[in-house]
Each structure stands twice: as structure tokens, then as C-alpha cells.
Amino acid sequence: MSIEDLTGQGVTITPTGQSGAFGGELLTVNFGPHHPSTHGVLRLIVDLDGEQVKRVKPIIGYLHTGIEKQMEALRWQQGVVCTDRHDYLSPPINNLAYALAVERLLGVEVPPRAQALRVIMSELTRISSHLVWLGTSGIELGASSVLMYCFRERDTIMDMNEEISGFRMHTSYIRPGGVMADATPRFLDMLAKFVREMPRHVDEYEDLLTMNPIFRARTIGIGRLAPEVAKLVGASGPMIRGSGVAWDLRKVMPYSGYESYDFEVATHDGCDCYARYLVRIKEMREAVRILGQALDRLPDGPVNVDDRKMLPPPREELETSMEAVIHHFKLFTEGYSVPPGDVYVAVESGRGENGCYVSSDGTHKPRRVKFRSASFVNLQALERMALNHMVADLIAIIGTADTVLGDVDR
Amino acid sequence: MGLEDLADSLGQNVLTTTLGKVLGWGRGNSVWPAQFGLACCAIEMISTATAGVDIARFGSEAMRASPRQADLMIVSGRVSQKMAPILRTIYDQMPEPKWVISMGACASTGGVFNNYALLQGVDKVVPVDVYIPGCPPRPEDLLNALMILQERIKAQGIIAQ
Amino acid sequence: MIAEELITDKGVSAGDEWITVPAPRLREALAALKEDGYRLLVFLTCVDHLADASKQWPARFELLYELRDMEKLRDLRVRAFVDGEPPEIHSVHDLFPPANWDERETYDMFGVVFNGHPELTRILMPDDWVGHPLRRDYPVGGEPVEFSEEHETWLTPPTEA
């Protein structure tokens, strides 16, 4: 017997054949894509034995945007815009993966000031992504004031984004060849103020949640992911660090100058939702530390590679130099070409290993761009983590996985 | 204590208006959105509901999870081919009078993504009242759209839609 | 150790090491590499080389498996070329659990059939979708845009607009 899907999606749901306690049937419930607590358009088919979850089957694809196909139709420099939008909570980190991949194929290296600015934007985004996670997870578990507190700080970060790039969210700031524009003095002042004040705000979030008996009861012991299982299913980010494995790409496979910053990898041995919460709080603190160091030793210099075949000349030069006009024209009509080859670059985002695989055939458009999405892989661990928990715990477990459906579906 | 004093005191305490204006005032000042956050615009929609911008000042206090208790559907984000029938189902489940705000470039026209996977504009499946451009629009843009919608609701009168 | 005879080609591309193995013996090669220490499958995908003039490719579809050794911190890319309608290869979901959904996605987007996969159904597109979107002969889709470089004549000529 199979249950036909009434929305016409063509999905056939077959019951597992298991029986519940006292020989009863399992109840199949649809956590539809339109749900307040699934962190996006995730659909779950859940088999319940009373209140206990016996099987969870995620169905994804409700946010499939065809980003990879779209990038094959856009030129190399235009593709940055699409990279912002798949993991929409950490746009500069996605930009960084793509930019590093293209730069590696081209064989260029960006100047030190650009690397430092890239680290600054990545860490700001990491904090902003964890703030959104904390706010929405809090409100799903019932702690509605946490949302207000977290989004207050996120607004500060959005103001900084706007100051440096003109955009609040999808900055497209980090591009192949460098960054979009230099940091303004006002940005550096805002950053200094943020670095001074953020630790106190993280203390506020901890005051609200860490020793809160309701929060602890809803997260301690829930959603266990043993370290061997985490490594087996390819989990990354706080999912694997919350199980005690100190795997952080910024330390083990550093990029963009991360090896020169002094920070700790946040791990916790609890393996449950509470451990992952503590890991993310600690990551916010470490990110503030990195920001302070980056701000202190921000080197002077250019922010872009000095290659006119890759980046347009400054507008003042267009008035006097014919060569500059030709470069400008070629770049904005045809774009630059990348030598044939392929490369994979992985960066550490708020969710885990977000990577960009780029394959070039020597023309001015990519042959294939593939995003290795941390949320896509972490979501596969959901089935193992949610077994034998209650339905209410399922919400806590989906929250702890911190999946961004844009990244899962691309 | 005469008739003139009575008329005076009543004049200060009694308002006269039309039924349409009262209905418009009531409906417009308490528009409850149904959460339909899909992608990046949803984060800015949550931002609108938080303390910095605070959509609750304008009456949208309760963002209802169930469409049956909501008046307004804010489609925030890109609508993929798989999601389109669900969007229509949720719209149909909302009781009259109902309005739709299409938030962001992807919901209004398909945005950056002109390809096979996305609906090029949510007005292909539901009728839209206000379109908000932007990728994503600022929280203040959503507030502006809500205020435009409120003007329209208040001007509507008794006959809905 | 992976047998030398299995490696038909190898090289380094922009700092990434890669090897090519024959498609029918892919499982053997990946099992040997897993014993070697490459126990994590980072991702698995496919590239369609239709109309790629940069070099002579052995077959149309190139399957890529990026393996990682978490102890020794080294990555290796394994390529396997498949052809056919539909192109077929063995599934490796039991060796590497992350391959489960990656193989479904590759089937959905390219039409590559993975023999031995427990549930090879579409994952990103609706279940009744026809065609495999990421193939090079599948159009990008979407709406035609007036005044773009994709076509030379008016789509809505001035007399009709």
C-alpha cells in the first residue's frame, strides 16, 4: 500500500512495514515544505510510533535554482553574483571559494591587504550566520527573546557590509583577483567598535541560554552523533566538532592567510545539540579574536591583482590611456579566459566544508561549476540523529544541523 | 443641562464615519502575514520582524504559521518548479480577503536566475498586489510595501478585492 | 595500495592530484584507495564534455570522485569516463555513505545510472520532470529577454507591442 501525494509532486510514500508498540501501525506524517520550523523549504516524511520517530526521510529540491547551470551561461566575473546566493547566510565565504578556485586556475595570488580583508569579511559573515542560527533555533525552541538580541548584532554587521560594499547581504565583495573595493576609514572604525563590544553581547546570549534549564532539557542528550558516524557520513563544521573531532579547514588546510592568525578550534565532546550550541558560541568568540588581529595588522597596499587582463582599470585612466579603454572594453564584453584545467577549493563556512569545483575549457565561460555543499551532506546525517527521539526533539535536531536549503538545493 | 449641552458633549465623544472606512481601518491596521519565507529574502523578512525595524508597529504582530489564520502572504524568495504547486495550495487555503506581496527580484520576475528551475515571477501562479524590487530588499522596503498595501486596503471599502 | 594497472592516467591540475581509472573497475579502485587511507568522499559529480574543443576526451561524461585522507591531509581526485544512453556505472554508496545523495543528484542532473543504488530517484527536480538539466544539450531555459545578445531580431516586434 502506498500513500499518494495530494499536492501532485509525484512522490510515493511507502510505509516501512514496521509495527509500533502493542502491534499497532506506524503513523506517517508529512512535515511539509511550508513549515515554520524547518529552517527553509525542507520536507520530511516522518514515521511515528506514537510520539517516537522511527524513520525520517528528507525530501529536498523545493529551492532548486539551477545555479550551476546558470553559471555555465555567465562569464567568469559575472558568476560571482550567483555564488552569493546558494548559501545565503554566508555570501562572502562562498565568493571566497569561487575566487580562490579561479585564481588557482589562473595562477595569480592576491596581495596581502586583500587577503586580510577577505579574512575580515569571512569572519564577520561567520558571526552573522551563527547569529541567524542562534536566533531562529532559539525561537523554535520557544526562546523568542534570543531572536531579537541576535538580530540586533546582525544588523550591526549588515551595516558594516553596506559600508564596505553597498549591499547588506549579498555583497559579491570577494571576487577573483582581489576584492571589490578598499575598506573605508568608517568601516575600520565600525569594525573596531564591533570587536570591542561583541564579546559582551555573546555573554548576553550565554546568559539567556547556556544555564537555562528548559534549553538544557531540550538539547542535552538530543541528536547524538558519534564521532565515528560523523566521519563516516562526511559531516563537517560544528556537526563534527560538536562530537569532539577537531576538524576545521582553517587549521588543517589553511587558505587566504589563515595560518598566520592565532585562534582555537572550538570542539566539545558532548555529541549532542547542546555541544553544537557551545561550539558555535565559542566560534563566535574566536571569530571576534581573529577580527581583532586582522584589524591590528591590516597591511597597506593594493587590494587587487595588478593584471589588466583580469580586472578593469581605474576609471581615471580611461580618460588618458587608449590601452585602458581597450582593456575595459574587452573585459566587459567578452571577459577574461581561464586556462583549461580543473580545481577544487574548500573553505570553512558556518556550516562546514563549502567548496567550489571549477572545470574550465579555456573559454570565457566556465564548463562546470559544482558547489560542494556542507548542508547537503550534513542533512544526510539527520536520519541517524533523529531515530527514537520525540517529535518535538526533531525540531531541535533540524535546528542543530543548521542546514541552509539554498545550499542543499542550489 | 439643556439639549444644546447634550449635543455638545455628544459631539466631543461620538465619531461618525462610513462602514467602509471602519472596515478598511480595521483590516489595514492588522494585516497578519503568513510566513512564506523561502530563501534569502526570508532572512530580511525576519529582520523586519525584529526590534530594529519592527513590523509589529504596523499591525503585523503575529506572523502566523497557518495560512488559515493569515491575511497576507509575503512570498519572500525564489519559487522553484517543485514549490509552485505548494505556493498555490497555501494561497488557496487562505481565507478572503487576502493579499500577496511579492518580495524581492526572484519572486517578482525570476531575479538573477533566468533558467529552467525557477518560476519567472510568482504572479504566474498567484495574483500579486505589491512587488518589491531588490536582492534582497532592505527591511525598510518591506515596511514601505506594507504601508502601500495598507493605503490600498483602507481605500477599498466594504467590497473586498 | 591501488594496483598500478588501474591507473590509466594521472596528473596534477592547479595543485590538485588526480588519477583516471577505467569505469568498469571503479569500485575496485575506490575500495583500494579507501584501504589506503582515503576514507572520506568529499563530493562526487559529473562533467559533460559535449562540444569541448580544448582536448580529446575519452568519453562524453566524466565522473569525478574527490577523496580525502583526513589523517595525512591529502586529497585525490578520481576520474572515470562513461558513455552510453544512459551512461552507467557502479554505485559506491556502501563504501562511502555521502555518495548516496550525490549519486541521486548526478542521476537527476545528468542521467547517469548508478547500478546498485538503493533508491535512484530524482532529488532536486520534480519526480515527473523530463530531461536532465545539467547536460550541455539541455537549454538554460527561462524567459527570452528582449535586447539581449542571444538573438538578433525582435521577439515582440514594434507593430505588436
Homologous superfamily assigned to C1-161: NADH:ubiquinone oxidoreductase Nqo5 subunit (3.30.460.80)
Give domain limits for chain C: 1-161
The ipTM assigned to this model is 0.89
Nearest to A343 among C16, C138, C141 (CB): C16
Over the stretch C33-74, which tens digit does the pLDDT of each residue have? 888 888 899 999 999 888 776 678 888 899 999 999 888 888
User: Fold for domain B34-56+65-139?
Assistant: Rossmann fold (3.40.50)
Contacts of C142 in chain B (CB under 8 A): 110, 113-116, 118, 120
Q: What is the per-residue pLDDT for C2?
A: 66
Average pLDDT over residues C95-122: 90
Residue in A with minimal Cα distance to B77? A63
Which ranges in chain C belong to alpha helices (H)? 26-36, 99-110
Identify the band that residue A19 occupies on the pLDDT scale cut at 50, 70 and 90.
Answer: low
User: Which tens digits make up the pLDDT trace of A72-109?
Assistant: 988 998 889 988 888 899 999 999 999 999 999 988 88
- In this prediction, residues A114-133 reach a mean pLDDT of 93
Which domains can be identified in chain A, with CATH numbers?
67-306+337-367 (1.10.645.10)
For residue C1, the model assigns a pLDDT of: 66
Max CA separation in chain A (angstroms): 86
Asked if the Cβ–Cβ distance from B117 to C141 is below 8 Å, we say yes
Mean pLDDT of B61-87: 87
CB contact under 8 A, C40 and A355: no
Write the DSSP assignment of A351-363 as a string of letters: SSEEEEEEEE-SS
pLDDT tens per residue, range B116-134: 888 888 989 999 999 999 8
> Using alpha carbons only, how large is chain B's radius of gyration in Å?
19
Any idea where the domains of chain B sit in the sequence? 34-56+65-139
Q: Is A72 on the interface with B (CB under 8 A)?
A: no
**Inter-chain contact A355–C42, Cβ cutoff 8 Å?**
yes
Are B115 and C142 an interchain contact pair (Cβ–Cβ within 8 Å)?
yes
List all residues 6 or more positions away from A65 whose beta carbon is below 8 Å from its beta carbon.
A85, A86, A406, A409, A410, B78, B80, B113, B115, B117, B118
Helix or strand holding residue C68 (H, E): strand C61-69
Residue A49 pairs in a beta bridge with: A52
**The three three-digit cell numbers of residue B157, written as one number:** 471599502
Beta strands of chain B (E only): which ranges? Answer: 33-34, 72-76, 99-103, 130-132
- Is residue A150 within 8 A of residue A205, CB to CB? The reply is yes
pTM strictly above 0.80: yes
